[in-house]
Amino acid sequence: MDVIPAIDILEGRCVRLYQGDYAQSQVFDESPVAVARQWAEQGATRLHLVDLDGAKAGRPVNQAAIEAIVRSVDIPVQVGGGLRDRSSVMDLLSLGVQRVILGTVAVEQPELVDQLCQEFPGHIVVGIDARNGKVATRGWLETSEVDAIPLAQQMADFGAAAIIYTDIHRDGTLQGPNKAALRELASAISIPVIASGGISSISDLLSLLALEATGVHGAIVGRALYTGDISLKEAVRAVGQGRWQDIPPDFGSSALA
């Protein structure tokens, strides 16, 4: 299972939101590039970037920062936020982004997702962000009447490479992932599911590792890395070993070196 650090970009800076609320943002670093290099040096095998300005505006905004990150690390980068047309997707792929994440268009323009999955096989991931099982759109500012599982099944049929599932009520709260929802979703589709939202400890990551057989193959970690609740080096090692007994009592409690 991949442990994937999240870098959320707002006004060119690395921030974290609380439950997707733009009014509750906390700046962790002025330089997303420096953060990306730090995570790559500490063992990340993939980075998850979110253009928060783009998600709100409905078009990519932080392309310069994204391009700088792609050029500064030698690991795959996936990007979401404001990708609602073919040209935006092509622009990011041309910058060297490996996978683009589509969210709002999966609800509002599913035919576009189908088209892009056929045109760029392996490069399209669908982000399903849910409040109480209903899919949120437009930077989490709106909540649709679409249920998460049927949407995931439709996107899998289109050929999406993976589904990123975020429980918005858990995001940024360090309350742990919604394992029941993840298990239900992963069991309903045949493509990989990546967990996001609420991961606060290496124990949380290992509990998700136990769901790997059901289809949960990755975990996006945000706030816990920035607060030091999780050490990326230790998390990568623990997940790689996959054994609870290898965790010392104070595992994940220290800040990043």
Q: How big, in percent rounded to 5, are the helix, strand and coil portions of the chain?
A: 40, 30, 35
Query: Does residue 69 sit in helix, strand or coil?
Result: helix
Whole-number pLDDT of residue 254:
34
CATH of 2-246, one of 3.20.20.70, 3.40.50.300, 3.40.50.170, 3.40.190.10: 3.20.20.70
Residues that are catalytic = 8, 129
Strand pairing partners for 208? none
Is the pTM here over 0.85, yes or no? yes
**Per-residue pLDDT tens digits for 87-105:** 999 999 999 999 999 999 9
Helices (H), ranges, 134-244: 148-158, 179-188, 202-209, 223-227, 232-241
Look at the alpha carbons of 173, 33, 124, 104 in this order and tell me if their dihedral is positive or negative. Answer: positive
Residues of the chain with pLDDT under 50: 243-257
Q: In angstroms, what CA-CA distances link 238 with 51, 102, 150, 173, 247? A: 30, 30, 34, 23, 7
Instruction: Output the six-digit token pair for 43.
Output: 């063992």
Q: Any idea where the domains of the chain sit in the sequence?
A: 2-246
